Structure 1
Amino acid sequence: MAQILEGVVHMKKLFVLNGGAAVKPGNKSAFLKIDDPLSSFSRGGINTGDVLVYDAMLKALAYDQIKNLQFAHAGDEKLWPQEDYDATVIRGSNYLTETVDISNVIPLLKKLKGPIVPVGVGAQAAKYKKLELPKGSVEAWKIIADKCETIGVRGVYSAEVFNDIGIKNVRIIGCPSFYRNLRPSIEIRPIDPAKARVGLTLNRYLSADYASNATKTNRMQRALIQAVAQRPVNRLYSQGEREETLAIFAKGEEKQKHIQSILEKYNLDGDKDVEALVSDRMQAFFDVDEWAADAKENVDVLVGFRLHGNVIGLHQGIPAVFFTYDSRIRELSTLFAIPSVEVEDYMPINLENIFEKADFSKVQHVYRLNYAEYHRFLTENGLNHVLANPVTAPPKKALEKPNLVQTDQNLGEVTDWFQDEVGYMTGEIQTLRDRAWKLELALRELKAPKPNAKLAS
């Protein structure tokens, strides 16, 4: 990596904004430094999907020295780099939202020399809509756009959001995590629907900008948990969720308390299959290499409501089926033609049926096209990378039509599903009515005139 210029060794140096993890010696892997998980997760959860994105970026790039600074600390001038770097990259994430303002990064962006290249930036909304980005964010992105050849965006929707604020120099690359294997092609393994070992990830944060319909999404996730739990060879991965990770590392009564909390969260208290899945077959990894190795050895297909919980297998050729519930999941599953189940359809979950009908025939071809686009993106921005030359030309146009799984629904299953769901919703409505009535009574009591103490005496 180091270059020799007129007898002087030049070390290639990379500055990373919002990497969000530690870097192993050799600069090719990312991990979280967590010596005491119980203490760390008692304070809150961590999204290990972000670490996977950073890890994949590190594997693709080739630099001798790497310095990382989080957006949250970018306003502190004492933490700014005191030397020049060959390039700055921004780890992709959900930066294009109506609630995320990155104006605090502007002074640093203006100071940094050399290219500033965002890799995998994405819009985040419950469903497709025009976004009104904060003015500070718009200014920051225009500064960045002027300092790079192209901004790498997650998909068509993200490109539209940039276009709406006048930024045209974008390239649709997906997420760098999809290319973690560094190969120009992948081969998706076949699935045996009846015997496949299933890996599942859960998501506690399915509301607001992260679900087009929170009720449907959470109920579908609950049904998926039950379906996966029925096979004793299946396993569950915690992707940094607080309660799940504590349940893995705690012992005795403390462990049981967290398990019970998880069951209650998903309204599965008393389901012995789910309890066994959570207590005996749930894993958490803070090292991406270890996470990937475990999935490769123990899983035949991945499902779930976490994007990177599926990608950890896909880049290794392990098939995955997405459950699509927000703009990000829909955008990326569409771009890579990955079979998906749309939660808005709100139908019962039969895993064997889903695996039989999931069509992966386009995934391998589309991956090669998207890889070629990613290669072109890194190259045109002057980033030092190790990607092999693509085996095909980049796509002329990004995919915009989802690869939905078309299952044959059993009338009995559908009837039972909706009877149970109607019963649940009826109970929830009654609970809300009871709460509203109690609140009304409390308000009336507050507004009622107080008896005059003197008259009463």
Structure 2
Amino acid sequence: MARVLVMIPSGEVYDHDCVRWYNYKDVQRSIDHYHNIGDAFVFDSSLKLLNFDKLGVLPIADPKMEDIDRLRGEFDYVFLRGSNYVHNSMKWQKTIEVLKRLKLPVIAFGIGAQAPVKGKIELSEETITVLRMMAESSASIGVRGAYSAQVLWDIGIKNVRIVGCPTAFRKNDPNLAITLPPLEEIKQVGITCRREVSPAYAQDIKRYLTFHRDLVKECARRFDVVLMAQGEVEEKKIVFGTPEQGEEAIKALRANKWVGDWFMDDEIEKLYRERLFYSDVVADYEALVQQKDMVLGYRLHGNLMALANGTPSIYFTYDSRTVEFAETYQIPSYDVFSKKEFKLEDYYDQSLFDKFNRAWHMTYREMKTFLDENGIDNKMADVRHVPAKPKQAAAQPAEPARKVA
């Protein structure tokens, strides 16, 4: 069994390989701070693929070099939790200094590049140096898709393998496949919401938010829906805050120019008050998607969590990250900025999900190969020898979150 360091974790670990946000029981401590629980999905899923008996955190902010020397003797390798690290403004703190001192293999576990809306991606010398150090220390770097692979290739890093994201494979089932029931049987639907948006990545904020609003309302009229938030401050206050904080959050959303003008109307407000879900515990999201007939929306990892559990999901793409995920796994997806009208029936199509099933199987094999070639002890089954597993009963949420009617 391995002794593993994680660089840039996202949450606290419990029960060996489960993740929840820091101090999750003390809601008020973090209620005014944004954190994307989707990052914790990736951390949790990464741990579920690995065999290890010791887990530690590699400090890169204010490290003491004598501690780095100690860690070198106590651990076997480092993994960098998959995320959107390869972009114009990434700050690595003292990573270069730490890795030079540590001298352990560094495994990039499904990292990705973020393209700007306009122009070519420009990486700092610091980012290029960190990426090259990781590539030189390992057999291969795992990236989420073809765009990220090309960005690394362009800076001379060629030992790249496209592995997608650990969240897709968290169940360690090489035979997972999505089989669609008739659309008329779909009743319970999760909508992964992301109303916070940056003009650096989304080319048309008004279109992004108005389409999002109309999608939520259309689904709510057609299905029994739950709105799945992932860490925005106002959404947390509505779910977990005091009644006063909840009202304050609604007022703040109404007062925000973009959100108030293009997203939060009376119908959305009612849904926010009655149908919003948020939790600081990854297991709660997994239990939720297991209970749904379908999940769709804007959130990368919320949608991927659903697919990993055999629940059909449709992506709505709006930047290079979302497009890259959809392309890697061939997930049925709709471009939010296209001129084409969205009709659910066009995407709820078994032939489209058959493409996903094939791509998922191939990417599973690539992830398994990536871990094996880097000498990482892992739980991923050999795709050639494992029989299909019967579908398991859905788990119940492990921690309290807003109950929906």
Q: What TM-score, normalized by structure 2, do the two folds share?
A: 0.86
2:314 aligns with 321
Alignment of 1:197-236 (within 5 A): 197-231=188-222, 233-236=224-227
| Equivalent in the alignment of 2:43 | 54
**Structure 1 counterpart of 2:280, from 277, 281, 286:** 286
Partner of 2:91: 101
The residue that corresponds to 1:149 in the other structure is: 139
Distance 2:128 2:62 in 1: 17
- Residue 70 of structure 2 aligns to a residue in which SS? coil
Distance (Å, rounded) in 2 between the aligned partners of 1:351 and 1:118: 36
Q: Is the 8 A contact 2:68 2:102 kept in 1?
A: no
Once residues 147 and 354 of structure 1 are traced to their aligned partners in structure 2, the CA distance between those partners, rounded to angstroms, is 42
> Residue in 2 aligned with 1:376?
369
Deviation, structure 1 residue 354: 4.6
Residue 41 of structure 1: CA displacement? 1.6
Provide the C-alpha distance between the structure 2 equivalents of 1:152 and 1:246, rounded to a whole number of angstroms: 36
**For residue 247 of structure 1, what is the aligned residue in structure 2?**
238
Q: Structure 1 residues 63 and 280 mapped into 2: Cα distance closer, same or farther (>3 Å)?
A: same
Bigger Rg, which one? 1
Letter in 1 for 2:270: A
Q: Does 1:38 find its partner at 2:28?
A: yes
Written as runs of structure 1 = structure 2, the 5 A alignment for 1:33-432 is: 33=22, 34-42=24-32, 44-69=33-58, 71=60, 73=61, 75=63, 77=65, 80=68, 82-83=70-71, 84=73, 85-102=75-92, 104-127=94-117, 130-194=120-184, 195-231=186-222, 233-262=224-253, 265-267=259-261, 268-272=263-267, 274-297=268-291, 299-351=292-344, 354-355=347-348, 359-391=352-384
Unpaired runs of 5+ in structure 2?
Answer: 386-405
Name the aligned partner's letter for residue 283 of structure 1. Answer: F
For the residue of structure 2 that corresponds to 1:321, the secondary structure is strand
What's the secondary structure of 2:94's corresponding residue? helix
Conserved? CA contact 1:28–1:55, under 8 Å: yes
SS at match of 2:217: helix
1:17 aligns with 2:25: no
Relative distance call for 1:390 and 1:214 in structure 2 (3 A) is same
Contact 1:260 1:269 in 2 (8 A): no
Q: Does the 8 Å CA contact 1:213/1:325 hold for their aligned counterparts? A: no
- Per the TM alignment, residue 205 of structure 1 is displaced from its structure 2 partner at its CA by 3.5
Q: 1:278 to 1:127 in 2, by over 3 A?
A: same
Query: Secondary structure of the equivalent of 1:345?
Result: coil
Verify the 8 A CA contact 2:109 2:141 in the aligned structure 1: yes
Whether the aligned pair in 2 keeps the contact of 1:227 and 1:351 (CA below 8 Å) is: no
Distance 2:10 2:66 in 1: 18
* CA-CA distance at 1:269 after TM superposition: 4.8
Report the Cα distance in structure 1 between the residues aligned to 2:127 and 2:9, rounded to whole angstroms.
19
CA distance in structure 2 between the aligned counterparts of 1:67 and 1:237, rounded to whole angstroms: 31
Greater Cα shift, 326-335 or 107-116: 107-116
Separation in structure 1 between the aligned mates of residue 265 and residue 207 of structure 2, nearest angstrom? 22
The separation in 2 between residues aligned to 1:363 and 1:223, in whole angstroms, is 26
Do the aligned residues in 2 keep the contact of 1:17 with 1:68 (CA within 8 Å)? Answer: yes
Counterpart Cα distance in 1 of 2:167 and 2:65: 31
Partner secondary structure for residue 207 of structure 1: coil
**1:196 aligned partner, one-letter code:** K
Q: Deviations over 1:343-374 (max 9, x none)?
A: 12144544456536982121111111110000
Do 2:332 and 2:347's aligned partners in 1 also have CA atoms closer than 8 Å? no
Partner of 1:425: none
Cα distance, 1:253 vs structure 2? 3.5
Shift in Å, 1:191: 4.3
Aligned in 2, Cα 1:101/1:358: closer, same or farther, shift over 3 Å? farther
Deviates more, 1:145-154 or 1:277-286: 277-286
Q: What secondary structure sits across from 2:191 in the alignment?
A: strand
The Cα shift of 1:216 comes to: 2.4
One-letter identity of the residue aligned with 1:197: Q
3-state secondary structure, aligned to 1:235:
strand
Deviation of 1:196 after TM superposition, in Å, equals 3.3
Q: 1:103 to 1:68 in 2, by over 3 A?
A: closer
Q: AA paired with 2:40?
A: V
Q: Distance in 1 between matches of 2:160 and 2:178?
A: 29
Normalising by structure 1, what TM-score? 0.77
User: Which structure has the higher relative contact order (CA within 8 Å, separation 6+)?
Assistant: 2
Deviations 1:74-105 (A, max 9, x none): 55547646232111111111111011132621
Check conservation: 2:143, 2:162, Cα contact below 8 A.
yes
Inter-partner Cα distance in structure 1 for 2:223 and 2:252: 22
Distance in structure 2 (CA, Å) of the matches to 1:366 and 1:379: 20
Deviation, 1:140, is: 1.4
Q: Is the 8 A contact 1:97 1:131 kept in 2?
A: yes
Whole-Å separation in 1 of the counterparts to 2:70 and 2:195: 40
Equivalent residues of 2:174, 2:381 under 8 A apart = yes
Query: 1:207·1:213 contact (CA, 8 Å) conserved in 2?
Result: no
Whole-angstrom CA distance in 2 between matches of 1:237 and 1:369: 29
The answer to whether the 8 A contact 1:20-1:70 is kept is no
- Contact 1:222/1:266 (CA < 8 Å) preserved in 2? no
- Which range moves more in the overlay, 193-202 or 242-251? 193-202
CA shift for structure 1 position 112:
1.6
The amino acid of 1:211's aligned partner reads: A
Say if 1:114 and 1:294 are closer, same or farther in 2 by CA, change over 3 A: same
Cα RMSD (Å):
2.3
CA contact (8 A) 1:191 1:355 kept: no
- Cα distance in structure 1, aligned partners of 2:357 and 2:143: 21
